[in-house]
Amino acid sequence: MASLTLAVPTELKQKMDSFKYINWSEVARTAIINKLQILQKMDKLLSKSTLTQEDTIKYGREINKRIRKRHKASQ
């Protein structure tokens, strides 16, 4: 098995240390596995997409514009 070293902020490490019974390596391993599964599903879905990057930017801007308009109308 390969080894991975993570750097965490001191404050986070102190909080982790207060739960000595937790296997933080297992928590990290599980989180990485879950993230990889999500990314693999996303890749599979996107591999069938015919949208270009320009299309997604255009649609994203249009969605943001409509959200702003709806938000302003509700105030």
User: Where residue 59 falls among pLDDT bands split at 50, 70, 90?
Assistant: very high
Tokens 């990889």 label which residue?
36
pLDDT-derived band at 74 (thresholds 50, 70, 90) equals confident
With cut-offs at 50, 70 and 90, classify the pLDDT of residue 42: very high
Instruction: Compute the average pLDDT of residues 9-19.
Output: 98
Q: Which domain holds residue 42?
A: 10-74
Q: Is the pLDDT of residue 7 over 90?
A: yes
Based on the structure, what is the number of domains in the chain?
Answer: 1
In a domain, 3, yes or no: no
| Within-domain flag for 18 | yes
Predicted TM-score of the model (pTM): 0.65
DSSP labels, the chain: ---------HHHHHHHHT-TTS-HHHHHHHHHHHHHHHHHHHHHHHHT----HHHHHHHHHHHHHHHHHHHHHH-
**Within a domain: 2:** no
